[in-house]
């Protein structure tokens, strides 16, 4: 209802002062969070202060606490680590230290703190808040502040953002820095795999994470590791023989390498540490394999933040300022976090207590409980890894006598192969015979269908493109031949992994069921396209890899201008009519504007953008970035926009243009796409197994209901199966996009961070949620 809508224009920060600090271990993306807090704070009329060197700077005061300007956070989005410095501070742990910190804040009128750090930093902030009024009383008694000042600054508001590569904080799916750390790990694993393959070696990789196994578990999932050791789920006694058996079995099946991933906090069931060297010695002693150890160490903390971390941190930073503006003296300190695809606020101390509960459960050897407390995302990762990594002996497998076919349809997208591997292995585990169809529906009607086995998909997760082969051909014209092939191979279910053509194809197959009984089988589609334009799903496989390609290229392009005079770049992105890549890529790369089809623009808007950039370039800002979706306008082409900016910017800046093209489709899949593909395809296969049992009658499978042809998509917080027929009304078939797209809500965010006055609907913000309720509601989420 319109009257319940809440807009940013109605929230004012006038007269408020916000301090922003990064504390504890650094994490990639912290700078993006700092930039978002500073710019959003200034946008709403507040003063924002950098607190350099974390709590140490707060205690020491002086030049460590400086007012921030709009320009002072320019060009920090792509920088790793934290440019305002971080330190582990002993002084703040003492009462004296906190007293000095309180004085330094009051002297500058700062009563709002945005703390970016791990659980230790956030716990410290909460203690500081609880002691605040007592600290002010002490300062009044010692005459260091006036009674009046203690009244004006009587309440301290705190909002936390979790910056930690370990992802060890309960209450949020992803912490800032985790995705970038996974990028570093996967880059190393991909490189190691090529050398391991050459020499038939076994590699033991040790990854960081303190007492949390998230990085180890997810990187094991993303590279298809043979074995993973994590603190939350220590291996059962006798694991040594089991592991060695698994390694030798995979070699016997033709694999030339083995990868074992060890979390730095890994232990056995009795609490004895398991080191990477101990694992190496075990493999050499039992199997005699040529084995090497690689300890990744601080490489994981370094490097430039991934697109995901930049967007996450920017969204969280803006949300943190909103939370501070809305805080009243009674509001508990909160953490802004991510749940599925949605920003939420959760009470800080609930998160800290839950995080401590995990450690307690591990200490008391209640391992199942520890995994459950880590959250749904962790639990699902572990269950998927178990499903995919341990091949049962044929005699242990349930035998279903069902045949399931997998195919790729549409343009290639990074992560498709991870999805195929996952589907094939889960299908085999469920007892089905799996068939691979080459070249999409075209290969289907030509009979390019063959059985695919467990070992055939080994090493597929890290491969870009589509190894099965994919085509845009739709099935309608060849429906008779496809039905014939279904009969010849006795196909009982279909899993289609692809883009908009896959969606249209599934609709055509379902429409043809009345004429062809062979098509009356369970069918499910998993969205995989760089454009992210599939109705019924917020995200599709391949979009994250494309975003990273865009972000990396924009970083390089911006860097190419360093040292030259002021320059603006016009960059064209892919996406068909869908502006997802241009908008979200723009947010991640710090663009000044992003032109898309969904938000029509005219010459007046182009003119105002040029003027806006011209004003900006008169300050210390040297570079501008403008993104344009390939189909955003028939007449305002990339050349037109380039020429317009070039002409209008004469004397202030010069222009360059780049068309990114197919490089957005290529490359090795990002960790996110590997995992998303793996988990979503595993879930799709489990649905197929369930439906096969449901529709098996009198010796055959017959499925003719709407809900037997579904699209599996991610909606806000959960993975949901939706009948394709019901998605028709949500689709703009002419422009091949959904009628409603969640990411359009991020556009005002991009404009605000580029210094445009805009309307921003913040109705979704502001509800404080409790962790327990989050868990209960989101059982089916990824």
Mind telling me the catalytic residues? 166
Q: Cβ distance 533 to 580 under 8 Å? A: yes
Q: Cβ distance 354 to 171 under 8 Å? A: yes
Q: Which two tokens stand for residue 460?
A: 């597929």
Q: Cβ distance 510 to 726 under 8 Å? A: no
Q: Cβ distance 195 to 201 under 8 Å? A: yes
d(C-alpha 65, C-alpha 58), whole Å? 7
The three-class DSSP label of residue 566 is coil
Per the listing, tokens 């076994």 go with: 202
* DSSP, residue by residue, 748-767: HHHHHHTT-----B-TTS--
Indicate the DSSP class of residue 234. P
CA distances from 291 to 35, 192, 196, 279, 390 (A): 45, 12, 9, 10, 21
* DSSP, residue by residue, 32-63: HHHHHHHHHHHHTT-EEEEETTHHHHHHH-GG
Side-chain half-sphere of 340: how many Cα atoms within 13 Å?
21
d(C-alpha 178, C-alpha 513), whole Å? 46
Number of Cβ within 10 Å of residue 460's Cβ equals 20
Per the listing, tokens 């889960």 go with: 426
- Burial label for 653, CB within 10 Å (0-12, 13-18, 19+), is buried
**Angle between helices 307-326 and 543-560 in degrees, nearest 10:** 90
CA distances from 566 to 558, 594, 625, 653 (A): 11, 20, 11, 5
Measure the CA angle with vertex 667, ends 666 and 668; round to 5°.
135
Q: What share of the chain is helix, strand, coil (3-state, %, to 5)?
A: 45, 20, 35
For CA atoms 355, 360, 363, 368, the dihedral sign is negative
Q: Which two tokens stand for residue 645?
A: 């900016």
Q: Cβ distance 491 to 462 under 8 Å? A: no
CA distances from 390 to 228, 426, 451, 463, 667 (A): 11, 10, 20, 21, 28
Indicate the DSSP class of residue 391. P
Task: Write the secondary structure of 502-545 as one string of H (helix), E (strand) and C (coil).
Answer: HHHHHHHHHHHHHCCHHHCCCEEEEEECCCCCCCCCCCCECHHH
d(C-alpha 34, C-alpha 602), whole Å? 33
End-to-end Cα spacing for the chain? 30
Nearest C-alpha neighbor of 336 from the set 577, 522, 163, 537? 163
Q: Where are the beta strands (DSSP E) in 360-452?
A: 403-409, 433-437, 449-451
In DSSP terms, 498 is beta-bridged to: 409, 527
d(C-alpha 268, C-alpha 496), whole Å? 41
Nearest C-alpha neighbor of 175 from the set 149, 148, 210, 223? 210
Task: Write the secondary structure of 253-318 as one string of H (helix), E (strand) and C (coil).
Answer: CCCCCEEEEEECCCECCCCCECCHHHHHHHHHHHHCCCEEEEECHHHHHCCCCCHHHHHHHHHHHH
């Amino acid at each position: 209802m319109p009257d319940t809508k809440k807009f940013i224009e109605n929230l004012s920060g006038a007269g408020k002062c916000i301090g922003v600090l990064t504390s504890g271990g650094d994490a990639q993306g912290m700078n993006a969070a700092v930039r978002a807090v500073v710019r959003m704070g200034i946008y709403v009329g507040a003063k924002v202060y950098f607190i350099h060197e974390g709590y140490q700077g707060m205690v020491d005061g002086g030049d460590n606490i400086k007012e921030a300007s709009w320009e002072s956070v320019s060009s920090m989005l792509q920088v790793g680590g934290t440019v305002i410095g971080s330190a582990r501070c002993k002084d703040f742990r003492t009462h004296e230290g906190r007293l000095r910190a309180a004085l330094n804040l009051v002297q500058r009128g700062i009563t709002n703190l945005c703390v970016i750090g791990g659980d230790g930093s956030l716990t410290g902030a909460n203690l500081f808040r609880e002691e605040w009024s007592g600290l002010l009383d002490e300062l009044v008694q010692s005459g260091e502040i006036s009674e009046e000042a203690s009244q004006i600054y009587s309440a301290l508001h705190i909002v936390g953002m979790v910056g930690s590569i370990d992802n060890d904080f309960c209450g949020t799916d992803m912490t800032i820095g985790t995705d970038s750390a996974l990028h570093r790990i996967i880059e190393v694993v991909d490189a190691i795999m090529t050398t391991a393959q050459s020499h038939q070696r076994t590699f033991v990789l040790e990854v960081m994470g303190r007492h949390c196994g998230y990085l180890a578990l997810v990187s094991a999932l993303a590279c298809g590791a043979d074995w993973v050791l994590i603190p939350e789920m220590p291996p059962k006694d006798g694991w040594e023989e089991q592991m060695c058996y698994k390694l030798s079995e995979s070699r016997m099946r033709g694999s030339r390498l083995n990868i074992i991933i060890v979390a730095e906090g890994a232990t056995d069931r009795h609490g004895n540490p398991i080191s990477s060297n101990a694992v190496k010695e075990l493999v050499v002693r039992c199997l005699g394999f040529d084995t090497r150890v690689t300890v990744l160490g601080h490489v994981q903390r370094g490097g430039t933040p991934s697109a995901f971390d930049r967007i996450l941190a920017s969204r969280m930073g803006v949300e943190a300022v909103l939370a501070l503006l809305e805080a009243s003296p009674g509001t508990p300190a909160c953490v802004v976090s991510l749940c599925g695809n949605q920003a939420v606020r959760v009470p800080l101390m609930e998160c800290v207590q839950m995080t401590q509960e995990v450690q307690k459960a591990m200490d008391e050897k209640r391992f199942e409980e520890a995994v459950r407390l880590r959250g749904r995302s962790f639990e699902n990762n572990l269950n998927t890894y178990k499903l995919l990594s341990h091949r049962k002996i044929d005699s242990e497998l349930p035998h279903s006598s069902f045949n399931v076919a997998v195919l790729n349809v549409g343009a290639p997208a990074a992560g498709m192969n991870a999805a195929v591997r996952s589907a094939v292995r889960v299908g085999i585990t469920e007892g089905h015979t799996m068939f691979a169809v080459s070249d999409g529906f075209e290969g289907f009607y030509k009979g390019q269908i063959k059985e695919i086995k467990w070992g055939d998909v080994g090493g597929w997760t890290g491969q870009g493109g589509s190894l099965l082969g994919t085509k845009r051909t739709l099935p309608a014209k060849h429906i008779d031949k496809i039905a014939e092939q279904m009969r010849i191979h006795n196909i009982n279910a279909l899993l289609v992994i692809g883009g908009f053509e896959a969606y249209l194809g599934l609709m055509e197959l379902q429409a043809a069921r009345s004429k062809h009984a062979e098509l009356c089988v369970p069918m499910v589609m998993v969205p995989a396209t760089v454009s992210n334009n599939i109705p019924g799903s917020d995200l599709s496989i391949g979009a994250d890899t494309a975003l990273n390609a865009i972000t990396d290229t924009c970083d390089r392009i911006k860097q190419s201008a360093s040292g030259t005079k002021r320059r603006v770049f016009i960059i064209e992105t892919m996406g068909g009519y869908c502006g997802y890549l241009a908008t979200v890529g723009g947010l991640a790369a710090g663009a000044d504007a992003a032109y898309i089809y969904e938000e029509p623009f005219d010459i007046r808007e182009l003119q105002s953008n040029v003027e806006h950039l011209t004003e900006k370039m008169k300050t210390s800002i040297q570079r501008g970035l403008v993104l344009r979706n390939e189909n955003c306008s028939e007449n305002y082409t990339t050349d037109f926009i380039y020429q317009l900016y070039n002409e209008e910017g004469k004397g202030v800046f010069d222009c360059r243009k780049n068309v990114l093209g197919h490089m957005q489709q290529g490359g090795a899949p990002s960790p996110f796409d590997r995992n998303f593909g793996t988990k979503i395809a595993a879930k799709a296969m489990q649905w197929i197994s369930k439906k096969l049992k449901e529709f098996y009658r009198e010796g055959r499978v017959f499925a003719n209901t709407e809900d037997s042809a579904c699209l599996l998509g991610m909606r806000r917080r959960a993975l949901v199966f939706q009948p394709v027929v019901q998605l028709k009304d949500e689709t703009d078939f002419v422009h091949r996009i959904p009628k409603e797209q969640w990411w359009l809500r991020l556009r005002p965010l991009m404009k605000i961070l580029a210094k445009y006055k805009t309307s921003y609907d913040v109705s979704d913000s502001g509800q404080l949620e409790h962790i327990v309720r989050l868990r209960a509601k989101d059982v089916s989420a990824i």
